[in-house]
Structure 1
Amino acid sequence: MTDTKASGRMQAGGKTTAASTVFAALRREILSGALPPGSRLRIDHLCQTYGVTINPVREALNRLTAEQLVVLEDQRGFSVAPVSHDEWRELVRSRCLIEACALREAMSNRTPVWEEGIVLSLYRLSRTARFLDVENRVPNPDWELHHHAFHHALLASCNSRIILDFCEEMRERSDRYRRIAALSPTGPRLTQSEHKEIADAVVGGEVEEAVKLLCAHYQRTLGVVEAHFERK
């Protein structure tokens, strides 16, 4: 579920609820790594930060708990969900399994418009800097948007909204790990050549090569993120 979807939940009359606004903001902060794993989420502080009452904050936290991005512990209250090697490995494994099937399906349904979408999204990604400030590891939000758009474009013609939504959820949960690791002075690795190789294989109709390259791309990211957490 994207932040657009999250913030798009409306009351009767078309107004975004206060709970949806808080939910979208907190979700974005957690997924970006701005709120680190284990951070306490004090209700009174959140009420002041977002200028809302207790009920919208509680509703937002409960929704985030249902997404496993927030945990509720007796006597301790709400906090940002921890990260773990096991969850990270399972996320990568799930992405490889599901996206391999989705990519094969997308390539079997290829259209000129779909191919153009891949080429355009790759071009935009290649023209965007990964960091606003490389030395201080300040992420570039535009790069994240274009990176997301590229991976979505690869699967866009699989003709299954359910599969695309599931891939979207897995991508966002994976991005949480990747973005946390990206803040490290030792990361991230350069991936632009990998993106181009994947796009070339997809547009060229090399189904098994495209699937192999996509899964290898995720597996290399798996190793980089694991190495980051092992150093901490």
Structure 2
Amino acid sequence: MIDLHYWPTPNGHKITLFLEEAGLEYRIVPVDIGKGAQFDADYLKISPNNKMPAIVDHAPADGGAPISIFESGAILQYLAGKTGRFTGIADGADAGTALRQGIVVNEWLFWQMAGLGPMTGQYGHFNVYAPVDIGYAKERYRKESERLLGVLDKQLHGRDFIAGGEYSIADMACYPWISPYDKAPLDLAPFANVRRWQAAIRARPATQRAYALSKQVNPQAGKELSDEEKKILFGQGAR
């Protein structure tokens, strides 16, 4: 059994995408980030950066004590290793091919973690949540988000999925961060390959099951944040 500490955000969706695809047994432990649950002392023991998602695997492969993992990219890598699925490595690949295919998956996983997620997140912050209109910031992050979409569009040319012919954790990492803000949608019209790929993943039954969890876990999903919620989410410092 895996405990998934989760709230319906793009990073949370990454993990439900994997778990639903793999058919692993899991239990959702809601982490209401708008109420500050990510700062609870018990939660900080498994996610010291006070972010979600995090998981606790009660049946790790070594048969030992439960393992906790935080950071969505690390969780995806762990789950792929645990199951041998969605690694992007073709069945029966020789050692050399497996090495190279695995490198491509990790490149794009870390590309999402370091680029697509943070830049699209900042675009969303300044267009949806910022208390004042800062034109420079809105334009800066729009351009960078569109640049990254262009990079992804080129990678997807002639490919069904990001790392090639196999649906992988690279796709699961990137998919939730493609224009995730309904109130400030990015223009996807110039990116035909991204739109094709996005539609294919959206149509997968596991994707639909994963996203259906949003309203189950947070019936208020999609509604405007209160001032108190914004203070909790965006007002934290070292103290």
Structure with more contact order per residue of length (Cα contacts < 8 Å, sep ≥ 6):
2
Fold-level similarity (TM above 0.5): no
TM-score, with structure 1 as normaliser: 0.26
TM-score, with structure 2 as normaliser: 0.26
